[in-house]
Structure 1
Amino acid sequence: MDTRRPVTLGASITVFVIASIFVALRFVSRIFIVRKVGLHDYVMLLAWVLDFGFSFSLFYATKYGLGLHSSEIPFEDQFALNKATYAFTVLYNPALMAVKTSILIFYLTLTRNNKIFQIANYVTLAVVNAAGFALTMVNVFQCHPFSASFVPGVPNGATCIDIVTLYLSSSPVNIVTDLAILFLPIPILTQMRLPFKQKVILVVTFSFGFFVAVVDVIRIAFLQRAAISKSLALKTIHLQNNTDADFSWYASLSFMWSVVEVNISIICGCVPSLKPLVTRLMPKLIRDTGDPSTTPRSHYAVNESPITVPPLIAGPSPFTRTPEASPSSSVGSKPSQTGSRSLSPRRRSRQASDQPMDMLDFLTEPGHPIGDVETNTRTSASYPPDITFFDFVNMKTPASMLKLNNRESIPPIALATLLFFLWGFAYGLLDTLNTQFLRIVRLDAWHSLGLHCAYFGGYALGPLLVGRPVLKTWGFKATFITGLCIYACGALIFWPSAVLTSTVAFTISNFIVGFGLAVLETAANPFIALCGPQENSEIRLNISQGVQAIGSVLSPLLAQKVLFKDVKDVASLVDVQWTYLGIAFFDVLLAVAFYYLPVPEASDEDLEELANRRKHDNQTKVIGIPVVWLTLALGVWSQFFYVGAQEVLSTSLERFVANADPSSSLTPFDYLTVGHSVFAAGRFLAAFVQWFIKPRWFLMASYLGVIVFTALSMRTSGSTAIIMTMFIYLFESGIFSTIFAISLRGTAQHTKTASAILATAISGGAFFPFAEYAVYLSHGQPYSWSILVSLFAAGAIFPLYLNFVPTAQKQVDPVPNEYLRRHRRKRSKPSVAKQQEKQTHTEGGVLSQPRSFVSETDMLPDLPTPREVHLSPRTRSADAVHDDSSSSSRGQSQSSSQDGGKKVEFAET
């Protein structure tokens, strides 16, 4: 007899027994050592009680046939099996919800003084409980009428939800919350001022949650296998009555892994609570016996002094308004200047009153006996003030992006360009998967455009609702992390949408992915444009956007030839969802990496200071409006219509090619790939061309090219029309980046808001494909591209304004070396300043202007010589005075900067 009962029963009993032991040890530690039981302990006890019922129901179901084929189960056992499986499905979500709630309540004790992480904990707690309650209700009322849940078979007129399908479609909620629980404490733990060994132990302890995520993925794999196996028999994956589905066989291993998941979660949730017990039984395992920090306080090294261990984050966070703040500013108390012990008030109070030690005390305690609560953490005055030391991360605080020259801006630009590739790759995958989904569920072109509209609908809301507030409040790094997390959630929602073959769920997933990428683009585009000398903004942005275009070329090829090659039915559509699970995990890991990487920022004050260099040029009025705001308004206008035209071309190209040359040996997909390749190459070409000509000239030529070649493609046929279409891709390639960079010039402290508005203009891609398709249905393919000509013509108003309004020319033309200089000690050469005043920038491109490379010594800050570094401040001041008097005797009128850090005033260009 073919059976799965032994493996199901054996694995389930083993993990339940181990979980029970961990719960018992947790309460031994809390009652007899810590002498304090918290709310999270009681909730974990509740989770174990629910787990007992949950696991026992599986044992009971296995006894009555779970793991056997339905045909092999005696009829008299089916009623007992149905009751046991019903109890199992009802208790799964409450048990898992209680475990996660206990862990999150414990996290709240770690983040009580950090609002950002407290908010993240509360949001995760709300998601866990709301989703758990909703799924529990669905399982309770899985059959209609209710009595049909227990009787063998399904009575006539009754309907029941397929539990395997329900579990699989709800998997994204578990994955999202698992990842949140896994990564939420890591930033706090890595920034605690603890000895290295103890910090490693803490991070490893909390990282046990990784096993829960692994088990969840394994469980999903078995659920997916069960769903696909059923689909081969039932020819569909939609919700079905569980008769004829061989439920007891297909669901057995899936249920087993559900028990493993819940019990592993309990084990991981109890591990941090065992530290007091381990400290009492095996102190050497935790104590840093070989670390100098474990020596008595009187044996500190020179220039070292003990400090109080802060209960929370002791280092800077990317979610602070002032990223340049010193790490020491967040430490709970100042370093002691004596050799005496320095205890936090909280610990002194507890020690004086002999109160029981709580969980947070034990997390931050070294491996000393209970009576000695003094920490071993020390700090050294030998670290430079610009070093942020987290034990795990040792990095310099990055300079403002507005103060970077070309060479210095390369590393952060390369880092941000990875995000451009990411959303280009995502866009290509989405487009291909949408096509396959529509083919499988047999939806028409209007539904296809609806999915397209949902994606760009995310751009209508994301930048202003989320992107701008996060960017203005916490900066570029936080916006990158937020966008990546939202994007990961959208990718995970492809699981239920594919399993249920639900158009609504698929539309929602497209919207959330677009929303997340819109938040990313709100920060990424201005980051590239501002990171370095401003005269190269258009060049940098075109290069990064070129990398994004490469992603949009590679992903459809990969999807068409590898990932979605065999996607011909619902079962195979479910199988490719592993691609999106991989994308989600990659997004989360990238967000974690961004948390620790030194991403430069640009404060509103710096942006305003840079814009004030050309204040007169920016504030000159045109038709009563300051030119900078008129430029921004027309840039938003142009961006809206350009993106609309770009998406009209993208959605109608295959149809246009099939109409123009039906006998071609190449498929429409091949022509689309060629067009995207030309588009990618065109962006790199645009970056190169703008070394020689001004961006406004390039923009004018690009719009003229797309209008001309669109008109020619409408008037020709065959391969000639297709070649004209490829030229449209070439000329449109650099328009987006150039509009974005030009429109941001001079917006000062409003630059981040301007970026959010420009990102919102990308939503133009949501609307105009509908208009083009309607014209195609009524007047045919060639005439439908009159919409394309009209959109390009509307967008061309912007370059006309830039090139024929002198005030606008002066405002947007690049100025050499336009970036914030660092503080100088010596005066700038007056000949350089005088030369800058006399230069005119109405001729030639940026290559014809003096460049801001490090090789130009006149443009470099005057740093102290090695001899000056070792001089006392008084001697250096005397030297500075001597330099000033010497300069005055030579007749130079410009005042030099003082050693106290004042800025040199440069002539406005």
Structure 2
Amino acid sequence: MAGMNLDHNDFQGRAAPVLAVSIALAVLSTVFVLLRMLSRGAIVKKIALDDYFMVLAWIIAFGMTMAVIWGTRYGLGRHEENIPPEWASTLKKSNYAFSVLYNPALMMSKTSILIFYLTLSKSNHTFRWATIATLFVVNAGGFALTMLNIWQCTPVNAVFQTPIPDSASCTDIVTIYLSSAPLNIITDLAILFLPMPILTSMRLPKKQKIILIITFSFGIFVAAVDVVRIAYLQSAAETRIANIHNNLNEDNNLTSENTDFAWYASLSFMWSVIEVNIGIMCACVPALKPLASRFLPRMLRDAGDVTEKDSSISAPRYTYNSEMANAHRVPSIVETPPSANESHAEPHEDEGPMGMMDFLTTPDMNGANGARLDRTTTMLTNTTRNTRPDSPTFFDFVNLNQKKSMVQMTSRDSVFPFAMVSLLFFIWGFEYGLLDVLNQQFQSVARMSPGQTSSIHSAYFAGYLIGPWLVGRWVLEHWGFKACYSVGLSIYACGTLIFWPSAVLTSYPAYLITNIFVGFGLSILEVSANPFIALCGPPQYAEMRLLLSQAIQAVGTVIAPLIAKKAFFETYFDAPSLVDTQYAYLGIALFTVLLAVVYHYVPLPEATNAELEDAAERMDGANKAQIRSIPVIWIILGLGAFSQFCYVGAQEVNGTTFDEYLAAVVGTDWSASNYLAVAHTCFAVSRFLAAGLTLLVRPRYLILIFFLGAILFQALSMHLTGRAGLAMLLMVFCMEGPLFPLIFALAIRGMGKHTRFASVVVTSAISGGAVFSPISSHIVNEGRGPQFAVIVAVVVFAAGTVMPIVFSSVGKIRRVVDPMSWSEAASDGRPSSTSSVASRALSIVMMGKRPSKENGAVEFRERSSNGGGQT
């Protein structure tokens, strides 16, 4: 039989390393699975559902690996000219078997891990639902990709034919693998980080805790291998494109079917084998803890821990005191000395199978077969086996220090949280600026029409319409402000990863989906970050804080494009440079995931609805006023959302028409990117300046001034040409800068317990960016020119002025949105006059200050827990 006689030629090229690595990985994964089953069957004495799925994953992976091994015997890893024609059919069959088995193997191993996660904690509903959601994505995505691999050719039998019939339609398998790469990375990272919040919250001896976290962190190797595999897939795809290009004649017709697939795809197949088998081995590591506990117990104990031998004599017992726990609302550990009868007790007899988490959290064992813990063993978990409840958690949350609410913070208290969230503002501004340049690169290479470019911008803002309502509101209400950062960053990372198949396939629909995901994730960030900055600290400085944070974000947006153009494509815009953007997207996604993890652990304050309501209370009851039976706060919110909708729409009109406007009024003597950098700098600087102006001018006046300035300069930009027209457009950017934070801060003033809902409403109003830019683009395409097209921005800016005009003309609204100084607060909103020390002291105490007497003088100190509302 041809191909069965192994000689030196059989191992030429890449076949030898592919064969050696595949055999080694198959052996190692087999050993790990056998040890896992030995541990669960012989020691734990309980083979669970996740074990059966792991065995199934190993069977499928073994078949997939054998397909690659078999393929190396029939030409996989060789150049096509070195493969005998009679091998072609067998090689294609082995390649097809590999491609069909790859995704089911990943799907089964990940399903095993996630089913195991479901056994970790039955009381942490967030963890369980996140695990279930990941389980659904793994299996739904795996099934879809498996079907795609099965039907890679239509009809299916065409995949085995050489050459492929003209009547058949086939998709290159390497392209399919590249397109599925984001799903694999996303699920790998989800599996890696899902249990970490629980593991890091456990109260265990230090060594045990470190070992436990490391045990669950082995999945990072799978993610790393997946990234390496992507690099080889990308190289294979480039080689295929080059071969096809070389086989084209002058009429762009293929002169040969030779694409050298066996050569360029071999290393990709090898790394796929590594990915699947490494995944199986890493998934088996936690289940090997019982073996380590049995044979290497000292490795798992901290120095000074009580040994099994000593525990029967002197080890204290830690029991769970339910009454104390209920009284303090935290699990309580009570040390009880061993009784006289227990101090010299014999080891307990075998009492049946033991749960996996008992071994994961406890190093010592005793009993006849080691399957039970000594009841007196020191064990710093929340229960002992004697007192364990029916549905225990394996972790122990302890929160003895109550954090101060964000609305109770003084300016000094708010420095750290303000700095941390402002840093987040800068990072996402930087990443967004980088993404904007990468988007332009993709649009250039894909030769998108102006209409397609406009629709991509609209897709991004469409994410703002659905994100706050579908996810942002629920997360904000149930998990708090900080949780939105991790959730939003995670979704944002998914959006950047989806760029990979978009670029590989040069797919316009896929790119639309990418931008929707990016907008979706950022909208969840904004739902939380903007109100957090506004609320965290004295309320009279809310607008100033938000302006400063948004200015820091704008600085990131200015810096990123300058770096991107130097790093990736300073002088050329072509297909090879698009490969650089793919790796840039991958880097952004991985960094964003890391950022999401970091912000999960950053200590940031929160505020309950009750605290928000207390902070909004005023002595004059202004926030409870009504206008024709409509609460004034809802009128404020509605006008704020409308104004935000108009502002973002007008801003996007200027952003999308900037290049065309520049070409029309100035020409091309200086690159558009340099002019845009100047415009963004003006935008950022104006926010810093406006932050200082809030100390002198009421915010509602500032909004009106900047809106009117935008209308004026926008109208002038329609009629002036040359440098004068450009200067007017740059002034429009200056006027735009402060509007967003000012509108947002005023729109949520006085909302109290409805603040979270108000934030969702105002954030979703950012979707105005999807409405007006297509209108201006249509005007340009109709031949009216970009100068005339900006009339859309003039009209929309004019509509936005409704908010500040109403805010300034209606007294009941004015009293809510105007920050009140301490002197005004003491006299119920009216300028203070001469009054007795006693009356002023009483009013200031009521507003959150307390008198103290030092050296015979009376002074007033701000309470550290001051939650004063509009004061």
TM range (shorter): 0.7 to 0.9
In the other structure, the counterpart of 1:365 is 362
Match of 1:34 among 38, 44, 52: 44
Percent identity of paired positions between Structure 1 and Structure 2:
46
Match of 1:283 among 297, 314, 330: 297
Confirm whether residue 84 of structure 1 aligns to residue 100 of structure 2: no
What are the equivalent positions in structure 2 for 1:169-318 lying under 5 Å apart? 169-235=179-245, 243-291=257-305, 296=311, 306-308=318-320
In the other structure, the counterpart of 1:117 is 127
Q: Give the letter aligned to residue 265 of structure 2.
A: A
Confirm whether residue 655 of structure 1 aligns to residue 660 of structure 2: yes
Confirm whether residue 665 of structure 1 aligns to residue 669 of structure 2: yes
Distance in structure 1 (CA, Å) of the matches to 2:101 and 2:866: 70
> Are the counterparts in 2 of residues 48 and 266 from structure 1 also a CA contact under 8 Å?
yes
Match of 1:587 among 567, 588, 592: 592
In the other structure, the counterpart of 1:75 is 85
Match of 1:12 among 14, 18, 22: 22
In the other structure, the counterpart of 1:696 is 700
Post-superposition offset of 1:31? 1.8
In the other structure, the counterpart of 1:875 is none
What are the equivalent positions in structure 2 for 1:720-869 lying under 5 Å apart? 720-776=724-780, 777-816=782-821, 836-837=826-827, 840=830
Distance in structure 1 (CA, Å) of the matches to 2:201 and 2:210: 12
User: Using a 3 Å threshold, how does the CA distance of structure 1 residues 167 and 614 change in structure 2: closer, same or farther?
Assistant: farther
> Are the counterparts in 2 of residues 654 and 671 from structure 1 also a CA contact under 8 Å?
no
In the other structure, the counterpart of 1:354 is 351
Post-superposition offset of 1:273? 1.0
What are the equivalent positions in structure 2 for 1:866-885 lying under 5 Å apart? none
> Are the counterparts in 2 of residues 679 and 730 from structure 1 also a CA contact under 8 Å?
yes
User: Using a 3 Å threshold, how does the CA distance of structure 1 residues 351 and 559 change in structure 2: closer, same or farther?
Assistant: farther
> Are the counterparts in 2 of residues 837 and 907 from structure 1 also a CA contact under 8 Å?
no
Post-superposition offset of 1:781? 2.8
| Secondary structure of residue in 2 paired with 1:815 | coil
- After TM superposition, the structure 1 stretch with the greater mean CA deviation from structure 2, 664-673 or 513-522, is 664-673
Post-superposition offset of 1:329? 3.0
What is the CA deviation profile of residues 340-365 of structure 1, one whole-angstrom value per residue up to 9, with x for unaligned ones?
A: 48xxxxxxxx9787112121221122
Q: Give the letter aligned to residue 376 of structure 1.
A: T
| Secondary structure of residue in 2 paired with 1:306 | strand
Confirm whether residue 712 of structure 1 aligns to residue 716 of structure 2: yes
What is the CA deviation profile of residues 6-65 of structure 1, one whole-angstrom value per residue up to 9, with x for unaligned ones?
A: 111111111211111111111111222112211111111111111111111111000111
Confirm whether residue 57 of structure 1 aligns to residue 67 of structure 2: yes
Distance in structure 1 (CA, Å) of the matches to 2:119 and 2:867: 50
Post-superposition offset of 1:508? 0.2
Distance in structure 1 (CA, Å) of the matches to 2:464 and 2:530: 14
Distance in structure 2 (CA, Å) of the matches to 1:841 and 1:136: 73
Q: Give the letter aligned to residue 760 of structure 1.
A: S
Match of 1:636 among 617, 641, 647: 641
In the other structure, the counterpart of 1:506 is 511
Q: Which 5+ residue runs of structure 2 have no aligned equivalent?
A: 1-8, 248-252, 340-346, 383-394, 834-839
Q: Give the letter aligned to residue 761 of structure 1.
A: A
In the other structure, the counterpart of 2:405 is 400
Distance in structure 2 (CA, Å) of the matches to 1:772 and 1:225: 41
What is the CA deviation profile of residues 73-106 of structure 1, one whole-angstrom value per residue up to 9, with x for unaligned ones?
A: 0011111111111111111111111111111111
| Secondary structure of residue in 2 paired with 1:336 | strand
What is the CA deviation profile of residues 498-555 of structure 1, one whole-angstrom value per residue up to 9, with x for unaligned ones?
A: 0000000011000000001011101110000000010000000001101111121122
> Are the counterparts in 2 of residues 365 and 373 from structure 1 also a CA contact under 8 Å?
no
User: Using a 3 Å threshold, how does the CA distance of structure 1 residues 567 and 136 change in structure 2: closer, same or farther?
Assistant: farther
What are the equivalent positions in structure 2 for 1:366-765 lying under 5 Å apart? 366-369=363-366, 370=370, 371-374=372-375, 375-378=377-380, 397-565=402-570, 568-614=573-619, 616-662=621-667, 665-765=669-769
What is the CA deviation profile of residues 768-792 of structure 1, one whole-angstrom value per residue up to 9, with x for unaligned ones?
A: 0111122333433322222111111
> Are the counterparts in 1 of residues 661 and 786 from structure 2 also a CA contact under 8 Å?
yes
> Are the counterparts in 2 of residues 195 and 376 from structure 1 also a CA contact under 8 Å?
no
User: Using a 3 Å threshold, how does the CA distance of structure 1 residues 783 and 141 change in structure 2: closer, same or farther?
Assistant: closer
Distance in structure 1 (CA, Å) of the matches to 2:433 and 2:327: 42
Distance in structure 1 (CA, Å) of the matches to 2:442 and 2:866: 61
| Secondary structure of residue in 1 paired with 2:827 | helix
What is the CA deviation profile of residues 811-862 of structure 1, one whole-angstrom value per residue up to 9, with x for unaligned ones?
A: 2111236xxxxxxxxxxxxxx9x9822763699xxxxxx9xxxxx9x97668
> Are the counterparts in 2 of residues 460 and 762 from structure 1 also a CA contact under 8 Å?
yes
Distance in structure 2 (CA, Å) of the matches to 1:837 and 1:367: 69
| Secondary structure of residue in 2 paired with 1:153 | coil
Distance in structure 2 (CA, Å) of the matches to 1:908 and 1:230: 66
Post-superposition offset of 1:212? 0.6
Post-superposition offset of 1:559? 2.3
| Secondary structure of residue in 1 paired with 2:646 | helix
Post-superposition offset of 1:579? 1.2
Distance in structure 2 (CA, Å) of the matches to 1:529 and 1:907: 12
In the other structure, the counterpart of 1:128 is 138
Post-superposition offset of 1:575? 3.3
Q: Give the letter aligned to residue 333 of structure 2.
A: P
Post-superposition offset of 1:397? 4.6
Distance in structure 1 (CA, Å) of the matches to 2:100 and 2:684: 52
In the other structure, the counterpart of 1:335 is 333
Count of matched residue pairs: 817
What is the CA deviation profile of residues 750-803 of structure 1, one whole-angstrom value per residue up to 9, with x for unaligned ones?
A: 000000000011000001011112233343332222211111111011111122
Distance in structure 1 (CA, Å) of the matches to 2:867 and 2:218: 56
> Are the counterparts in 1 of residues 330 and 398 from structure 2 also a CA contact under 8 Å?
no
| Secondary structure of residue in 2 paired with 1:170 | helix
User: Using a 3 Å threshold, how does the CA distance of structure 1 residues 795 and 198 change in structure 2: closer, same or farther?
Assistant: same
Confirm whether residue 166 of structure 1 aligns to residue 180 of structure 2: no
> Are the counterparts in 2 of residues 4 and 253 from structure 1 also a CA contact under 8 Å?
yes
> Are the counterparts in 2 of residues 393 and 596 from structure 1 also a CA contact under 8 Å?
no
Post-superposition offset of 1:394? 10
Q: Give the letter aligned to residue 734 of structure 2.
A: L
> Are the counterparts in 1 of residues 204 and 381 from structure 2 also a CA contact under 8 Å?
no
User: Using a 3 Å threshold, how does the CA distance of structure 1 residues 905 and 694 change in structure 2: closer, same or farther?
Assistant: closer
TM-score by length of 2: 0.88
Distance in structure 2 (CA, Å) of the matches to 1:575 and 1:906: 52
User: Using a 3 Å threshold, how does the CA distance of structure 1 residues 204 and 444 change in structure 2: closer, same or farther?
Assistant: same
In the other structure, the counterpart of 1:824 is none
> Are the counterparts in 2 of residues 428 and 555 from structure 1 also a CA contact under 8 Å?
yes
Distance in structure 1 (CA, Å) of the matches to 2:365 and 2:853: 48
